[in-house]
Amino acid sequence: MNFDLVIIGTGTAATVAAMRMRKAGWRVAVIDEKPFGGTCALRGCDPKKMLVAGAEVVAAARRMHGNGVDGDVRIDWPGLIAFKRTFTDPVPQKREQRYAAAGIGSFKGLARFTGPNSIQVDDQELSARNILIASGASPVPLGISGEQHLIDNEAFLAMESLPRRIVLVGGGYIAAEFSHIAARAGAEVTVMQRGPRLLPQFEPELVGWLMDAFDRIGVHVLTDTTVTAVDAKGDHYEVRGNARHGEIVVEADIVVHAAGRAPALDRLNLDAANIRIEHGRLKLNAFLQSVSNPAVYAAGDAAQHGPPLTPVSSHDAKVVAANLLKGNHRSPDYRGVPSVAFTIPPIAAVGMSEADARSSGLRFRVKCERTSDWFTARRLAEPVYGYKTLVEEGTGRILGAHLVGPHVDEVINVFGLAIRHGLTAADLKSMMFAYPTGASDIGDML
């Protein structure tokens, strides 16, 4: 079967590219071995955020207890999972219907390259002028004994009942977010992180303040701890690790892989298409095109050219579509892309870190403060609130913004807009924000 474009994947990047190219008159097909919809809609950000909604209610009730709110609020885990499924369950069928209505061919099965312009799906062979790899990401191999006992983010989000004891291996977004959900649902949670702190993608001062929230809900965080083995012991597991003071063993009913994800490329048989990989990533040029096979492009988590975020996947897909239609002329622009870990409260960042700004040689001023006494925090009885902002001397250009506390997942977008479109600190300070809101604190943060 012949097409103009074959896309591996059905997530955000795949769908955006497929729709744009089909609208331009191209013959397009998509392939996925999993239910159509991709990571964000089915196994990542959207279902996770629905579980966070339940945890937020519990967190708010507990903070306000003794401040005019009384009564016990708890999470009904099966009910919360059922609520999540009201969103996720219809997604595959809706996505298939959308493809069909647009005249896009759909194929279910494992995609494997058989040549520079050809892909096999089960017993069918597809050929195309161009191929887009948008296959997402998968957990990185840990190389430890008993690794097969770990579950991934997909399995965690599908659990029909909540285990009593949970160990999360790793200390990034997945570990931080899932620990806040599970602990507020009543589980005993331990996080085992190889590095010296959780969430290394965020500023150390803000992560330090956020650790108060982990302590408050009883999450046991073990840093500088390398997991070495997971042993099955009847109806539970023993997680072994090397810590600063020797070996430790933590018992768990489930163990969750939260130690990072990498482009899902291993099963695509890339060698058959002369597609180069370096350090586990596709070797791409500035136009998201394979340097060794010009017929092939990549987008989103599979490309890992920009931050592993859903808006980046959409942006990459638009870049690829533009280059396919008019020749290579557009490169991705990741300026001002905010990143958020949906802990409770959330932590957010956009732009440069302080370390990056200093290594760049720029002259800038730093303003950093924990602001638990500001109204935004006090009205919610939330003691974790603070910020760090970086502003270039002379120009007033905002180099970076780092926030932790109530509503920062929304407020960070204002800073992202400023960075992407060149608004200065003076521009933001002159804005009359609705008051009292989280955004009305921006002027004082600068």
pLDDT at 307: 87
Domain contains 162: yes
Spatial CB neighbours of 397, under 8 Å, sequence gap ≥ 6 = 391, 422, 424, 425
pLDDT at 155: 96
* Per-residue confidence (pLDDT) for residue 67, from 0 to 100: 95
User: Could you tell me the residue range of the domain that residue 168 belongs to?
Assistant: 147-257
Same domain, 26 and 127: yes
Both 299 and 392 in one domain: the answer is no
Domain stop point among 223, 257, 291: 257
Give me 267's structure tokens: 């099963």
168 in the same domain as 28:
no
The span from the CA of 426 to the CA of 431, in Å, is 9
- Note whether residue 292 is domain-resident: yes
Residue 126 CB neighbours (<10 A):
20
Per-residue confidence (pLDDT) for residue 2, from 0 to 100: 96
Quickly list H helices, 304-388: 310-326, 354-360, 375-378
- Same structural domain, 294 and 371: no
CB contact at 8 A, 401 and 351 = yes
One domain for residues 101 and 202? no
**pTM of the entire predicted model:** 0.95
Q: Per the domain annotation, does 336 fall within a domain?
A: no
Which tens digit of pLDDT belongs to each residue from 48-102?
999 999 999 999 999 999 999 998 999 999 999 999 999 999 999 999 999 999 9
| CATH number of residue 180's parent domain | 3.50.50.60
Task: Tell me, yes or no, whether 377 and 360 share the same domain.
Answer: yes
In a domain, 60, yes or no: no
Q: Is residue 68 included in any domain, yes or no? A: no
Weakly modelled stretches of the chain, pLDDT under 70:
none
Q: Are residues 159 and 233 in the same domain?
A: yes
Query: What pLDDT was estimated at residue 306?
Result: 87
- Do 8 and 119 fall within a single domain? yes
Residue 25 lies in a domain: yes
pLDDT at 421: 97
How many domains in the chain? 3
**Above pLDDT 90, what percent of the chain?**
98
Q: Has residue 78 been placed in a domain?
A: no
Last residue of a domain, one of 207, 235, 257: 257
Question: What is the C-alpha separation between 403 and 369, in angstroms, rounded?
Answer: 10
